Structure 1
């Protein structure tokens, strides 16, 4: 049963090709669902739900998309893995011959008859795995978040689950009722907290977790929630967040309340929990980020944009824990409650008044923003081309790139940002692009100068003007910006969007004095790059070593930047950040400090990956020292995994990843 971490990456290699499937042209609930067959079956079946909005917004929680790493790992363990899709309510018949039913972050509420089917499935011996997220992760803007859907009631609308909805929405909600269903049936309640960028490191001992936590040290959380233990006889926490969490340091920036309820630790409630339900079992996790990977399949159903997800499954000990959970859920045992066996029981969790159904409040009017014109969450005919539910193929991807100064001046001095778009239709015009710089936490601090030279009065998203493609489908524009509104020095982000909610580039920037750090002269230096050639054009990670010789001993070069680009100048590369995360755009990225040894030689190895949607056979890799100072350019061959034996798949390294991009999240 135990899923050993040291074999994890090796086991995943055999499923590399399966995970790198091309995005579907058009697919919906009436099309045949994918089925993943194991080479060595263990006789058990895992079914993933895809009938409750699992592909809404930036989510792509399907077994051949951004949950493919998880699905592939289960196939490697011998499970038959299938997807449930359809237009009729989920029934007990749909769960026939299924051992484990996985419910990824639902965005469409379960009808009462569906809740009955899930509870009966577990009561009769099945395992159910509930994967939720944080409060206000409403990806389809229907006023119901995943935690509310799992719990069975909507915050601030317990007496009226369709509060604020239109006639069409109310009709789509027929059969949905309010109840404290998850608590009553499974003994837990997902909280409304929203905790960001930490890790669950309070791990229940192996002997108290049925072996699930064997070898587990940390489980990551990036904008997620915990649970309250409501019935200790049938529910037990196995992973908790650290003590000492604060609203200022640990709550997700856009959280609509304090985000942290009880300071972390045991009182905040478990991040991962398990349960016993009759002859069956249950399990729960408060974030989809540890489960997802970076291979989304579908387009965003609201606006048609390309989704960006992140490699959470290979972060920390996430993957091994998740597979161990499935192993446990798939085994039937002859006790009905934890109270019947020799197992320490949890204490019921403390509960805030606003967490109880009847006394809950809606912190602000929902939905969190207005949906894009024409999009109706309940009407698939309004879904964008290439999304799940649409019957129209997606358009060609437009590539977006931002080039900014190394440091954005905090003193109000104007600076320029270059916007480059490629893969547009010849002479295509975009008039709804806008951009802003914002601090961590979300405060907008930028203005964009108008064509007449004047400046707006406010701060926030402002139009960049008209972007018009030339005959080759490319356009470039220089936009003049300045900062204010109480701006502070330090890390920030610049974001370009095309229409409300359609974020196409989010780039980390630094706000400071506006002056680039002076670098020592490097006229006598020689530059060398070491990299695989051909380079894998499949999204996998590969190393690039930057070597500088002829430096002064002890000299440090901190402005070295690197990119890979193809004909026409389109950048196709990213460099992994020091914290293990990846940028959301492509372009030049700093390689970090390169310090010379006593022989005047300095080197730095970075991890890179290329845009797997690009189709090209040749490219160039370029090293520069500061903007415009190109010191080395070399031609490289680009090949897909089907064309080359280069084996550096996404599973090659256990690295930390962060940043899942969503309209309402920085995630998932």
Structure 2
């Protein structure tokens, strides 16, 4: 029986398995590139550069070094880009010299994985760089990448122009990256809020938007004023699908949702960056016989700063020289901040749709009598649940946890008809981030605890909001219980 909108509500329950909720990345980084840090980070920020998808096919050389997986095998203390051999060696050496990064390469012949015992598994890294991949990712690899981001990882996607199929297998970087976003088992409903355009822009010098606070444009490696296109492409932004997406650098004459040459977004608790050409990361040096181009130092752009600031932001890094990261000074007393966390006082302290917090026996609470039950009507309907909270500025840890159960009467295995979005809003109600989107495809039996890292919002007052949106037929219920926001 479907849930009704009366005080006595019940429905038939179906059980399946629930997908994992992501962890929100923390604050941005701040580490000077022009001078060594005062002290290296206790835990280096771990970056994996891909070389498993034909990144050296043709005259490409998109590697940080020929010593793989560990570039330190070529030279342990590099001081110049030629100390490592590869067209991305300037990028790698610049990070290595800070002392705050641990770099590895996924060599050719390897498979991208997440959650395995491999030392090169994505769970062992903070950021994964895909520099102009030329081979389609397998279904398992796409799942690995998407879950990595959803659970807090940073993904750097670097495309090239359409037709740049360097190994002649029918897939160029545009196709590979669009395929990752549109045909995966985690979320194929425009998860990052953009698609890559099938263009070949011969030459342009795109300019950065006017912004003095964005951590990628104003990071510790320098101020970004623009970039270069030497046969590349752009992206079309779709903020209706993911309001976190934003363009930072635009093709000349473009703005808004079209012509974004460099864009950032979030997915789950992770971060994503897109760059429309590999020329800006090419340092002009590499293996013998390759036709390389020094875009890294091209005076028409600030490409080095853009690559390095982008890596730092994706890694959630907080460098030893201060700057970026969640909050600043102040003191912190360990505490649980949410009021009425188990809903046992009814709707007290929570805002949202009337009747969402309920004792209705159609869905049992995990503990006690009350829980929050969003959707479940089998007709077009939207429910919300939210609470506003201030994360103390001095807290270095802020973790929001809750138990979530999803069940559905939908029978499809491919279409997300009903969804639950978890978002963070600012004081004006604007969405700061969509943390994750669940759907009828994620149905499961029982409750599972999920955790979000809100450390990046230290010193801010934010609203955590859940929104359940149901289609016109067949119910899906999203049930939440036993929440907490623990800070320390």
Higher relative contact order (CA 8 A, sep 6+): 2
Q: Which of structures 1 and 2 has the bigger CA Rg?
A: 1
